[in-house]
Amino acid sequence: MAYKITDACISCGACAAECPVSCISEGDSIYVIDGSTCIDCGNCANVCPVGAPVGE
């Protein structure tokens, strides 16, 4: 289980600042989550202005 960022991402960076395990980084066009490190806390989804991070 891990969160994933969808194409709705506008690359604002808010989620990366709130991730407790720092597994979110800026990708080529959108931010990306390292699924092997994500602990499913949901912080990214809570702070995202466009609802881009989704749990699997």
Residues at the interface with ligand SF4 (CB under 6 A): 3, 5, 9-15, 18-21, 23-24, 31, 33, 38-44, 47-48, 50, 52-53
Q: How far is the CB of 28 from ligand SF4 (least distance, A)?
A: 13
Q: How far is the CB of 33 from ligand SF4 (least distance, A)?
A: 4
- Chain CA centroid to CA 16, Å: 7
Cβ closest to ligand SF4, residue 28 vs residue 38: 38
What is the rounded CA–CA span in Å between residue 36 and residue 51? 21
- The answer to whether the CB of 50 falls within 8 A of the CB of 8 is yes
